[in-house]
Structure 1
């Protein structure tokens, strides 16, 4: 694989390719999927979202694999920032000392986000922070913050003031105006955006006559949300001059190129791994051939081309 063609430079991150697993899908590098291949094949690893204290998450079942996508209500299950700093990341670093890491942060109030981000920053174990203001599966914080532009700005400013690490704000699609949310993140000092998180949904099993999730409702992901992700990334890219990590329904290398054409600079992959545990590896391996078919010499040149077209009024 010609890594230079696939190389991506983002604030705080030097990636050999644009592929990273979405937060939660590889845990802290300790899931069965993460153990199934060499993580050095990734551009970066996004860690599971971390909160100040340990969280058990929502009632079981937390995940439902349906015909056309995945519904989940995991609810930010994690061991808390101290365990992540002292045990989880050191174990990961022992195996992968050079793998770029992004720490995902969440909480129930602004002080929680600030605390976790500051600990990540002080420990110097990750290269960037993803601010999860978009999780639909918790009672407080998460999507409640991400659906209010003023709160996005306040939260981003508060975290930015306490960390020297680049900050990527992960936006929710469960809003009426994604542009206002993107602009709010930039106003707060965000270095980039991650978009989109899952769509709030529900499925009822006609046989049992009950919701398939223990929490009744949860985050919907999979190929069906890709058009929504593409539209929102396109709108945000035209509104703010920030790098965007695109996520939502990616299953092929062609999908990666489509994300770039919408305005993304890198991508995250989540639900595809339920069908193919090696989806990240396979998509990264397929990218050069697809780029050849589409006359794309490098992802960096494609990114610059798309940005120029946007500036010229595409």
Structure 2
């Protein structure tokens, strides 16, 4: 069950998803966090952020919408208080970073990667670029490439960089390629999908911000599709798969599509033991199918089909 993020070896392939377990303390009251493959932190910003107005969360069929707005204490508090706690508990740490400009991402990469205990950096590209009329970095291959290049330049050489991609684009593959060409050692996908709900009782949007990110089981088929397409185009690039993983079967589906590890997010809100349960279920499923090593299952669905089938376009 050992897994790898580029050259970083993990004890197992189940991680937390950014934003769903904060910095790990909340989960530690339920189990030893060192049992996780890694903790992916909530996105760290340069300055403290209060986030968006409430209500910020709305339940939807098979998922939830959130519009938290990257609330957090800022990088100084994270490095002083949260990162030492995580490293003291013996869990690999993948630090998610978020900025509003290329310069902010670069500075975050420099400061975060200089610390011991950081296994990798995940670049949250689903942030508005204040220098480009608020358009999200993840929506444009050039903008995403600029961020990743700056992060890779300022990141410590032995800390791998993973670019987190959005499915809210016409074609995710060119953006994935642009990030890899810019120096990303791996990719994370998918981030939440933009959605909206209206409360028919109040006759107003359910979220104060109007729109929000949709997550949960409803988005899993989209995640599988994106992972499948990117793995087919970039088979040697490690992928952190996420999007609606609630069971071991869900995790195995993403791995068969091409993910080397999976991040668990929304499921944690109603089952704080979700990561440990999913790890156990995944191991049992692999054993039942005669798969001796996790690595043998990565992308196996591609190899199980004739080559021409993997290249067909959706009709």
Describe the SS at the equivalent of 2:154. Answer: coil
Unmatched segments (≥5 aa) in structure 1: 1-5
Deviation at 1:64, TM superposition (A): 1.7
Q: CA deviation at 1:182?
A: 0.6
Runs of 4+ in 1 over 4 A off after TM superposition: 138-143, 304-314
Q: Across the two proteins, how many residue pairs are aligned to each other?
A: 304
CA contact (8 A) 2:129 2:135 kept: no
Give the structure 2 partner of residue 178 of structure 1. 172
Measure, in 1, the Cα distance between the counterparts of 2:110 and 2:305. Answer: 35
> Equivalent residue for 1:90?
84
Q: How does 1:1-314 map to 2 (within 5 A)?
A: 6-31=1-26, 33-94=27-88, 96=89, 98-135=90-127, 140=130, 144-163=136-155, 164=157, 165-240=159-234, 241-303=236-298, 305=300, 314=310
1: CA distance, partners of 2:30 / 2:258: 31
Residues 28 and 92, structure 1, Cα contact 8 Å, conserved in 2: yes
Gaps of 5+ in 2: 311-315
Q: Over residues 206-262 of structure 1, what are the superposed CA-to-partner deviations in whole Å (9 max), with x where a residue is unaligned?
A: 011111112111000111111111011100111123100100011111111111111
Judging changes above 3 Å, is the alpha-carbon distance between structure 1 residues 311 and 81 closer, same or farther for their aligned structure 2 residues?
farther
CA distance, structure 1, for counterparts of residue 105 and residue 97 of structure 2: 6
Deviates more, 1:241-250 or 1:59-68: 59-68
Structure 2 counterpart SS, 1:36? coil
Distance 1:281 1:176, change over 3 A: same
Q: Match of 1:150, SS?
A: helix
Spell out, residue by residue over 1:82-104, the C-alpha distance to the aligned partner (whole angstroms, 9 max, x if none). Answer: 1111111112333x1x2110010
**Aligned-pair CA distance for 1:268:** 0.4
Q: What displacement does 1:65 show?
A: 2.6
The 1:130/1:143 distance shift into structure 2, 3 A limit, reads farther
Give the whole-Å Cα distance in 1 for the aligned partners of 2:129 and 2:147. 18
**TM-score, scaled to structure 1:** 0.91
Q: How much is the aligned-residue C-alpha RMSD, in angstroms? A: 2.0
Say which SS state the counterpart of residue 48 (structure 1) adopts: coil
Tell me the CA shift for residue 13 of structure 1: 2.4
Q: Could you say what secondary structure the match of 2:240 adopts?
A: strand
Alpha-carbon separation, structure 2, partners of 1:203 and 1:58: 17
1 CA distance for matches of 2:167 and 2:219?
Answer: 10
User: Following the alignment from structure 1 to structure 2, what is the Cα–Cα distance between the partners of residues 252 and 182?
Assistant: 27
**8 Å contact kept, 1:19–1:267:** yes
